[in-house]
Amino acid sequence: MNSNEPIRISRRDAMQWVAAAGATLGLAPGMAFAAEAEAAVVGAKPYGTDPLLNKTYKPGDFWPLTLAAAQRRTVVALCDLILPADDRSPAASTVGVPDFIDEWISAPYPLQQADRATVLAGLAWIDAEAQRRFGKDFASSDTAGQSAIADDICHKPKAKAGFASAADFFALFRNLTTTGFYTTPVGMKDIGFVGNVPLVKFAGPPKAVLEKLGLA
Q: What are phi and psi of 13, to 5 degrees?
A: -65, -35
Quick: pLDDT tens for 8-33.
444 444 444 444 433 333 333 334 44
Mean pLDDT confidence for 195-209: 83
Residue 124 pLDDT exceeds 70: yes
Tell me the one-letter amino acid at 25: L
Mean per-residue pLDDT for 60-74? 93
The pLDDT, as a whole number, for residue 28 is: 37
pTM over 0.85: no
Q: How far is CA 69 from CA 37, 74, 83, in A?
A: 13, 9, 21
User: Mean per-residue pLDDT for 109-118?
Assistant: 94
pLDDT tier for residue 41 given thresholds of 50, 70 and 90 = low
pLDDT at position 191: 87
Least confident of 19-23, 47-51, 119-123: 19-23
pLDDT given at position 42: 63
Question: What confidence score (pLDDT) does residue 204 get?
Answer: 84
pLDDT value, residue 34: 40
Domain regions of the chain by residue span: 11-212
Calculate ∠ Cα 59-65-69, nearest 5°: 105
- Give the Cα separation of 101 and 79 in Å (integer): 10
Asked which of 51-65, 76-90, 173-187 is least confident by mean pLDDT, the reply is: 51-65
* Stretch among 21-30, 93-102, 118-127, 183-192 having the lowest mean pLDDT: 21-30
Answer with the residue of higher pLDDT: 148 or 62. Answer: 148
Mean pLDDT of the chain: 82
In the prediction, which pLDDT does 54 show?
84
pLDDT tens string 156-193: 999 988 999 999 999 999 999 999 999 999 999 888 88
Low-confidence winner among 58-62, 120-124, 150-154 (lowest mean pLDDT): 58-62
